[in-house]
């Protein structure tokens, strides 16, 4: 498959479904809480429920994509995601909304775990990093546009129509995918589907220190992003009184920083090398952690300062998001789907837990979100240092997985 611009746009749209499912309804969290008669913290919990289900189900769909091919799993996921979106749109009670979010997560997990594996098929580690940077650049438009679209829909219609929008967009993406993107995993390269082999392979992957080191570092890094997504609506709208219809523009600044970093990563990865670019990203992440810790202890710091700290953090996703994943997949062999699934499970489990922690520590200030974000950054940096030290020492066995 030739990775042309139209292909990047389609893949970016499909990978962007989960960011859309997360970000599009952020401006409506206070309104949903009011309509359903629930506390804001309970509506924030629907985000954690989505992320947790999304995370745990990836370990199922990863081996399935290695055994059955990428297209079948992606098609299944798109149908289920659209169904879950319509369920959420029809929800009139909190329990129904939770069920709809779980259905969405099932479909989202199938799509999210298969796209990186589809891109990796036939590419080297450096080519994969560049290709995923382009996909992430397109995907970054999703969280940029989603809160804006969600805010407009909320003001002009109601929050229910946000999920109708997600369902329609999913069906459009499915039509484009079926028409333009072929299967990338030939039958002769597929892994036989066996529960014993799946469990054995996951056990071997989990024991590989470098693979797990990159996955853990990426998971803590991603967890900090989920803290921001969970707490941003309260801080911007409730604490600093940003109008709901403008919330998306404030969130969009973070996506712009991510897009800039993604563009730089794609441009300089061949010249500087992936390890050096990743190290630069870690340095910026450390700066953001220091700033966020400092802002957390202040009483109502300027909103612009909080925005700057968060932009630095989210910007590093453009470099570390693909860089840490590429580091892990360097050792994946024929099991791109399984490594992607393991990474996704760890990332989104960490994201769900960190988001739940932010909700549980909610005290009416900016402190919980900023402290947890900075803590996640610190843990990601420590995990990365340990991983590169292990990788340079060569103190690990070659990965052998069951065929």
According to the model, what pLDDT value does residue 213 have? 93
User: pLDDT at position 40, please?
Assistant: 79
Model confidence at 98, pLDDT cuts 50, 70, 90, reads very high
Above 80 in pLDDT, residue 258? yes
Sign of CA dihedral 293, 289, 364, 347: negative
Extended beta strands in 100-236, E state: none
In this predicted model, what pLDDT tens digit does every residue of 175-229 receive, in sequence order? 999 988 887 777 777 777 778 878 887 888 888 889 999 999 999 999 998 889 8
Determine the Cα–Cα distance for residues 115 and 258; give it in Å rounded to an integer.
Answer: 20
> Which among 97, 108, 248 is positioned nearest to 169, based on CA atoms?
108
Assign residue 182 a region (left: φ > 0; alpha: ψ between -120 and 50; beta: otherwise): beta
The residues spanned by each domain of the chain are 7-180+194-393
Look at residue 306 and tell me whether its pLDDT is greater than 90.
yes
- The overall longest dimension of the chain from CA atoms, in Å, is 61
What pLDDT digit, counting tens, does each position of 20-35 carry? Answer: 887 788 788 888 888 8
Instruction: Supply the mean pLDDT for the chain.
Output: 84
> CA–CA distance from 167 to each of 20, 21, 164 (Å)?
11, 10, 5
Domain 7-180+194-393 has CATH 1.20.1250.20: yes
pLDDT at position 386 is 94
User: Could you read off the pLDDT of 42-91 as tens digits, one per residue?
Assistant: 887 888 788 788 888 888 888 888 888 888 899 999 999 999 999 999 98
pLDDT surpassing 80 at residue 164: yes
Please name the helix (run of DSSP H) or strand (run of DSSP E) that holds residue 33, with its range, or none. helix 29-36
DSSP state for residue 69 in the 8-state scheme: -
Q: Are 223 and 321 in contact (CB under 8 A)?
A: no
CA distances from 311 to 291, 308, 316, 327 (A): 11, 5, 9, 24
Confidence category of residue 397, pLDDT binned at 50, 70, 90:
low
Please give the average per-residue pLDDT across 279-292, as a whole number.
95
| DSSP collapsed to 3 states, 146-200 | HHHHHHHHHHHCCCHHHHHHHHHHHHHHHHHHHHHCCCCCCHHHCCCCCHHHHHH
Confidence (pLDDT) at 114: 86
0.95 cut: is pTM over it?
no
């Amino acid at each position: 498959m030739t990775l042309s611009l139209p292909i990047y746009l389609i893949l970016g749209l499909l990978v962007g479904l989960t960011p859309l499912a997360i970000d599009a309804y952020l401006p409506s969290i206070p309104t949903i809480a009011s309509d359903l008669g629930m506390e804001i913290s309970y509506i924030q919990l629907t985000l954690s429920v989505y992320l947790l289900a999304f995370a745990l189900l990836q370990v199922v769909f990863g081996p399935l994509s290695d055994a059955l091919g990428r297209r079948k799993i992606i098609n299944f996921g798109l149908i289920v995601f659209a169904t879950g979106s319509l369920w959420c749109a029809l929800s009139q009670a909190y329990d129904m909304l939770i069920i709809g979010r779980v259905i969405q997560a099932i479909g989202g997990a199938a799509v999210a775990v298969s796209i990186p594996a589809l891109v990796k098929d036939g590419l080297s580690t450096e080519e994969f990093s560049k290709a995923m940077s382009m996909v992430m650049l397109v995907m970054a438009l999703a969280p940029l546009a989603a809160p804006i679209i969600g805010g407009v829909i909320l003001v002009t219609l109601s929050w229910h129509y946000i999920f109708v929008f997600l369902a329609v967009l999913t069906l459009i993406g499915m039509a484009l995918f079926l028409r333009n993107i072929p299967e990338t995993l030939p039958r002769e390269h597929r892994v036989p589907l066996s529960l014993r082999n799946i469990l054995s392979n996951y056990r071997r992957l989990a024991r590989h220190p470098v693979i797990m080191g990159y996955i853990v570092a990426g998971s803590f890094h991603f967890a900090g992003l989920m803290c921001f997504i969970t707490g941003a609506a309260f801080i911007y709208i409730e604490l600093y009184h940003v109008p709901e219809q403008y919330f998306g523009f404030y969130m969009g600044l973070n996506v712009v920083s991510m897009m800039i970093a993604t563009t730089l990563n794609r441009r300089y990865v061949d010249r500087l090398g992936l390890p050096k670019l990743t190290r630069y990203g870690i340095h910026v992440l450390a700066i953001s952690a220091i700033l966020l810790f400092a802002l957390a202890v202040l009483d109502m710091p300027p909103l612009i300062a909080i925005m700057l700290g968060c932009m630095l953090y989210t910007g590093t996703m453009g470099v570390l998001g693909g860089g840490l994943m590429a580091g892990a997949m360097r050792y994946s062999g024929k099991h791109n789907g399984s490594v992607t699934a393991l990474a996704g499970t760890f990332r989104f489990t960490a994201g769900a837990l960190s988001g739940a922690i932010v909700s549980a520590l909610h005290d009416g200030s900016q402190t919980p979100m900023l402290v947890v974000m900075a803590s996640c950054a610190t843990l990601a940096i420590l995990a990365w240092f340990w991983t590169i030290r292990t990788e340079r020492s060569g103190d690990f066995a070659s990965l052998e997985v069951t065929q």
